[in-house]
A and B are shown apart, each in its own frame.
Chain A
């Protein structure tokens, strides 16, 4: 079983010959037209996603964007209302039972009343070719708390135990749902270092986060999810460029915000104390267009946008559009 698992260097092309053998359609993850509602709430509204083996992908989006639901669908934990999910060309259930998938679930519970070491051993006993328990614990940095009861762990410790559980299958695909929640800065750093080390051997990783900097720093590719649909998909740099543009601030005599928002490169317009704030995804183009249409513009300032604010803005813009 172990020899059948894929191990490739990260810098190899995403789809190799070997992959074709082990995943007939060449994709580690393939979601097609996923829809899922809970009662009246449409959590996921048509997600299509393909991840190639070896990719490290961040799932970025605010709370309630549908990240966890999408992850539950791709792990086979919930059935979508429509659409299909496949992992390595098989059903999620088959991939899970073959030990190709490890996952850290959001708020995933730990069995109460047992020691951490026992919990990991127990979990490993339910896999066909698990990673040695000691190795999983070492990689997750929980060797020193092996004797501690699961009910007595801090939030960060519990997260690391969940990470160890995700490593236990020695998976080809690692799915992490908001892995760094409840971790302090120090722990967060060592977590990502450990994750990097693990994925260096060519495994596929999908992690959900609502931190743009985390997505940018650790993923090859960032998929932005808002209101249950994918609104952007690209490298961290591309997402930053489209999400987090610059702001032009200027006094523009006689200009109406509506007209300004139609200028090339402008995403949104605000008025503030006699000045116009033009949020741009291409500030160069926007400035050229602005000076052409309103030559009287003066007191121009251009500032780099705050990533988080811009990101929130983008998702908010998407929301407005979808309600139109």
Chain B
């Protein structure tokens, strides 16, 4: 019986190990990484050309505003698409094989969320670098770090959303589902066009999306206004709700197809 009581230590280490190995596998898929980063980066460079030097009138330059938007846009795509790849592992049956290891289910789920978070980094870092160099966005080192950290941590609900899609969808459906979710949230959340340009009813819709509050969080920290409580609460609420849905989807995925 001591075999069973001695199993508590090591779970965290094993989860970390699995997260790193899986992240390495995703990072090896260069095509996937390029596709994740390319669109937000190219759009941002285009915007820099159009709006460089202009001001929003809200204490933030248009380019800085769009930098946060495009970084969020890219990161959301990376987080959702990475999670959605779980459907492929499920389809091939690799997922079942993993259940025959000492890695517990919650370790697996946490590790997969960590992978999604780590895969968002290239989009975040590259758009910020483009902002600092081509876009002339000037921030202190601490300013860059806190803004980056704010956006990154704000991605947690999106990482969980990716898992939900990965467990709820099938190989055939995850692609369209994640694409619609990714673009839908980006547009509705005002990452492509400022929410102020939306018709009134859509503005209300926008303020329910996690993407709106992700960008709000990032911009607020960027201009030095600190962490907005509303954004944190909305993002936390999304994380909790999606987490519960995710656990349900995970349980259901255990029963055979």
Binding site for B on A (CB under 8 A): 1, 4, 38, 69, 72, 75-79, 90, 94, 96-103, 105, 107-114, 122-123, 125-128, 165, 169
- Say whether A78 contacts B254, CB under 8 Å: yes
Cβ distance B86 to chain A, nearest Cβ, rounded Å = 12
Give the docked Cα–Cα distance between A111 and B89 (Å).
7
Give the docked Cα–Cα distance between A127 and B17 (Å).
11
User: Which residues from B are CB-within-8-Å of A127?
Assistant: 101-102
Select one of A97, A109, A112, A128 contacting B97, CB under 8 A: A109
What mask results when residues 87 to 99 of chain B are scored 1 for a CB within 8 Å of chain A, else 0? 0110111111111
- Say whether A94 contacts B4, CB under 8 Å: yes
CB contact under 8 A between A1 and B88, given known A109-B93, A126-B103: no
Q: Would you call B140 an interface residue if the criterion is a C-beta within 8 Å of the partner chain's C-beta atoms?
A: no
- The interface-forming segment of B6-14, B42-50, B148-156, B187-195 is B6-14
Cβ distance A149 to chain B, nearest Cβ, rounded Å = 12
What mask results when residues 215 to 257 of chain B are scored 1 for a CB within 8 Å of chain A, else 0? 0000000000000000000000000000000000000001110
Cβ distance A77 to chain B, nearest Cβ, rounded Å = 6
Interface size for chain B: under 10, 10 to 19, 20 to 34, or 35 or more residues?
A: 20 to 34
Q: Would you call B184 an interface residue if the criterion is a C-beta within 8 Å of the partner chain's C-beta atoms?
A: no
Give the docked Cα–Cα distance between A113 and B89 (Å).
11
User: Which residues from B are CB-within-8-Å of A165?
Assistant: 97
User: Which residues from A are CB-within-8-Å of B94?
Assistant: 108-111
Cβ distance B84 to chain A, nearest Cβ, rounded Å = 15
Cβ distance A120 to chain B, nearest Cβ, rounded Å = 12
User: Which residues from B are CB-within-8-Å of A128?
Assistant: 7, 10, 102
Q: Would you call B173 an interface residue if the criterion is a C-beta within 8 Å of the partner chain's C-beta atoms?
A: no
What mask results when residues 24 to 43 of chain B are scored 1 for a CB within 8 Å of chain A, else 0? 01001100000000000000
Could you show 15 A-B contacts with beta carbons less than 8 Å apart? A1-B3, A72-B256, A77-B96, A77-B254, A79-B255, A97-B7, A97-B102, A98-B102, A105-B96, A108-B96, A109-B91, A109-B92, A114-B25, A123-B101, A126-B103
Cβ distance B247 to chain A, nearest Cβ, rounded Å = 15
Report which residue of A97, A99, A114, A127 has the largest number of chain B beta carbons within 10 angstroms of its beta carbon.
A97
Cβ distance B253 to chain A, nearest Cβ, rounded Å = 11
Cβ distance B89 to chain A, nearest Cβ, rounded Å = 7
Binding site for A on B (CB under 8 A): 2-4, 6-7, 10, 14, 17-18, 21, 25, 28-29, 88-89, 91-104, 254-256
Chain B residue nearest to A175 (CB atoms) is B100
- Say whether B3 contacts A4, CB under 8 Å: yes
CB contact under 8 A between A126 and B97, given known A98-B4, A110-B92, A112-B92: no
- Say whether B89 contacts A125, CB under 8 Å: no
Chain A residue nearest to B17 (CB atoms) is A125
Select one of A1, A94, A102 contacting B100, CB under 8 A: A102
Select one of A1, A96, A102, A113 contacting B99, CB under 8 A: A96
Cβ distance A3 to chain B, nearest Cβ, rounded Å = 10
Chain B residue nearest to A119 (CB atoms) is B94
Give the docked Cα–Cα distance between A105 and B96 (Å).
8
User: Which residues from A are CB-within-8-Å of B4?
Assistant: 90, 94, 97-98
User: Which residues from B are CB-within-8-Å of A90?
Assistant: 4
Chain A residue nearest to B9 (CB atoms) is A128
Cβ distance A23 to chain B, nearest Cβ, rounded Å = 10
A109-B94, A126-B101 are known contacts; what are 5 more A-B pairs with Cβ within 8 Å? Answer: A90-B4, A96-B102, A98-B7, A105-B97, A108-B96
- Say whether B3 contacts A126, CB under 8 Å: no
- Say whether A97 contacts B88, CB under 8 Å: no
Chain A residue nearest to B251 (CB atoms) is A79
- Say whether B6 contacts A1, CB under 8 Å: yes
- Say whether B2 contacts A4, CB under 8 Å: yes
Cβ distance A112 to chain B, nearest Cβ, rounded Å = 7
Cβ distance A14 to chain B, nearest Cβ, rounded Å = 22
